[in-house]
């Protein structure tokens, strides 16, 4: 039976590359984001490549818990449940600690921490009720989840990613207590060339472009390869965290 993977933030960037790679590796994929039209285009691309109906687009605003819960109900109806949950959606807002807006901080907490936690709980419950013992929860973290990025605009973002580090390790422990073999993994990149920096510096696209031009960045496909590697490890191997930086990245 094909395993079913949920990929959050599958409309663009890393999530789109991960969804495409999972389809190519024989998983059934549900990809969610707010811009569902972009996932529909990706699904059409997969269809043309010989994978019809394998990627199912789902419109979901992950900052709204009810939308997440409805999505898991829909997945249950469609595919019985999920075997793999890739918590990829995330964002940074340019809100320093000394002058940032609370609303920007809240948005980062909602998507980067709360949605990851809600999806993790719902994915686990879905695996548990179907006696899935080889499930996998993968969190796309950040190097900023392991050390504070020396740039004030992203200190709060970095804090939300520290939370992802703690949540993944806590999850690993809870899974052991629950006596399941479901695995938990973080993948923590440095700079990846996506639209991420353009959203962060939405009032200064030149600065965003300069970020990506300064060095040879990671590509979304490098992240997708890491996800495939993590999923292909034998059942007794649990990869805790992959830290992946561009060769030329300084910090
Ligand atoms: O970012 P981007 P990446 N509800 O902006 C979705 C981490 N990371 O692929 O709703 C639902 O191209 C959004 O979908 P949409 C980063 O922290 C990156 O680079 O349509 N979805 C889109 O699909 C994040 O965790 C870098 O706008 C929501 C996706 O999230 C992950 O990598 C470095 C949503 C974002 O696509 C993917 O980022 C690093 C919501 N409310 C960590 N809000 C890097 N790129 O340099 C957002 O260390 N999304």
Instruction: Give tens-digit pLDDT for 151-172.
Output: 999 999 999 999 999 999 999 9
Helix axes 13-24, 36-48, angle to 10 degrees: 30
Start-to-end Cα distance in the chain: 43
Contacts of 209 (CB under 8 A, 6+ apart): 198
Average pLDDT, the chain: 97
Give the residue whose CA is nearest to atom 8 of ligand 1: 142
For residue 2, what pLDDT is reported?
87
Nearest Cα neighbor of 89 from 189, 8, 160, 21 is: 8
* Residues contacting ligand 1 via CB (< 6 Å): 9, 11-15, 33-35, 60-63, 88-91, 111, 140, 142-144, 189-192, 194-196, 199
- What residues act catalytically? 157
Q: pLDDT tens digit string along 212-250?
A: 999 999 999 999 999 999 999 999 999 999 999 999 998
Report field, pTM of the whole predicted structure over 0.95 = yes
Complex ipTM:
0.99
């Amino acid at each position: 039976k094909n395993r079913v993977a949920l990929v959050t933030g599958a409309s663009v960037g890393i999530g789109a590359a991960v969804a495409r790679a999972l389809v190519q590796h024989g998983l059934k994929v549900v990809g969610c984001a707010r811009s569902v039209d972009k996932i529909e285009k990706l699904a059409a691309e997969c269809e043309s490549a010989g994978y019809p109906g394998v990627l199912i687009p789902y419109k979901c605003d992950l900052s709204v818990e009810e939308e997440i819960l409805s999505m898991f109900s829909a997945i249950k109806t469609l595919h019985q449940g999920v075997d793999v949950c890739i918590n990829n959606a995330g964002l940074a807002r340019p809100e320093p600690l000394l002058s940032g807006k609370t609303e920007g901080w809240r948005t980062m907490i909602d998507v980067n921490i709360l949605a990851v936690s809600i999806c993790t709980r719902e994915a686990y419950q879905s695996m548990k009720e179907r006696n899935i013992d080889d499930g996998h929860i993968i969190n796309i973290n950040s190097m900023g989840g392991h050390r504070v990025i020396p740039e004030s605009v992203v200190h709060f973002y970095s804090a939300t990613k520290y939370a992802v580090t703690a949540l993944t390790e806590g999850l690993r422990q809870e899974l052991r207590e629950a006596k399941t073999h479901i695995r938990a993994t973080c993948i923590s990149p440095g700079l990846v060339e996506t639209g991420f920096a353009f959203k962060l510096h939405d009032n200064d696209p030149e600065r965003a472009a300069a970020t990506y031009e300064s060095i040879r960045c990671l590509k979304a496909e490098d992240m997708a390869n890491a996800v495939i590697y993590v999923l292909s490890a034998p059942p007794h191997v649990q990869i805790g965290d992959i830290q992946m930086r561009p060769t030329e990245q300084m910090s």
